[in-house]
Amino acid sequence: MGVVNLSRKPKTSSVADKKVAEHVREFCCGFDEEILLADGFNEAFLGVIERCASKPVACYDAERCVKVLMERDEMSHDEAEEFFDFNTAGAYVGEYTPYFLYRFKHEV
């Protein structure tokens, strides 16, 4: 199980954060022990994506990742989006690189 530093402050600090990180790792190991996780974004973790003829990969909520950067690193929304787009979603670290889901918003 690999953990990739795609965040400015990747270390989990509280006991609760560490427990969540461990649960995420255990869940992913059930699919493939080589899955890479985005360190510091456990609360944005959604699950694992599988597809025929592809390696399973971790999936995160992109909007929640931006909120994590804003809250934890005290960034403005624009700073967090720019940092996330370039350093996190824009980082390719091999075939196990995590996916980041951008949710469609239904507007009526």
Given a cut of 60, whether residue 7 has pLDDT beyond it is: no
Output the CA torsion 79→84→85→87 (10° steps): 110
Given a cut of 60, whether residue 9 has pLDDT beyond it is: no
Say whether 93 sits in a helix, a strand or coil.
coil
Q: Which of 4-8, 94-98, 100-104 has the lowest mean pLDDT?
A: 4-8
CB atoms near residue 46 (< 10 Å): 15
**Phi and psi for 6 in degrees, rounded to 5?**
-115, 20
Residue 8: pLDDT band with limits 50, 70, 90? low
E strands of 1-108, at which residues? 2-4, 36-38, 45-49, 57-61, 99-101
Residue ranges of the domains in the chain?
2-101
Given a cut of 60, whether residue 94 has pLDDT beyond it is: yes
Across 32-49, average pLDDT = 95
Given a cut of 70, whether residue 4 has pLDDT beyond it is: no
**Per-residue tokens: 36:** 């890479």
